[in-house]
Amino acid sequence: MRIILQRVKRASVSVDGEIVSTIGNGLLILIGVEKGDTEREAKYLAKKICDLRIFPDEHGKMNLSVKDVNGEVMIISQFTLASHIKKGNRPGFSNAAGENLAISLYKLFVEEIKKQVKIVRTGIFGAYMEVNLVNDGPVTFILEKFGGAEGI
């Protein structure tokens, strides 16, 4: 599982020219599910993200979580995060999970975030989406598994 996590002032996602989701201050999460990913990793990463202290406190230090600031979360599936581009110039997607596993773990991840954050929005799984955001900072992190959740 690979995740791009961005602290945002606001974000929206559109499909076929229609806005399907918007959020204010919070997190934009792009998630790519890979072969071999498990429910354990999805749950671990959801908890980790909700507990990450990446929002500024009254002194401007990153010391507060999305929960602490009552932030909103937008989660977008992005299979291209499972690509590999070590050889050649065309990305390969053989690491991407099959549709059934990807949908299952994506939905589980969303539900785990919803247990911890009041406002959670999503795009449309598998759709061509346009994502607009105002990155706050900018603050961006990459999370991925390394040999299981304990190695994340």
Query: Cα(122)–Cα(129) distance, rounded to whole angstroms?
Result: 11
**Type and span of the H or E element at 104:** helix 99-114
DSSP per position, 55-117: EE-TTS-EEE-TTTTT-EEEEEE-GGGG-B-SSSSS-B-TTBPPHHHHHHHHHHHHHHHHTT-
Of 22, 38, 80, 140, catalytic: 80
Q: Is 80 a catalytic residue?
A: yes
Tokens 């999460």 label which residue?
A: 29
Q: Which residues are catalytic?
A: 80
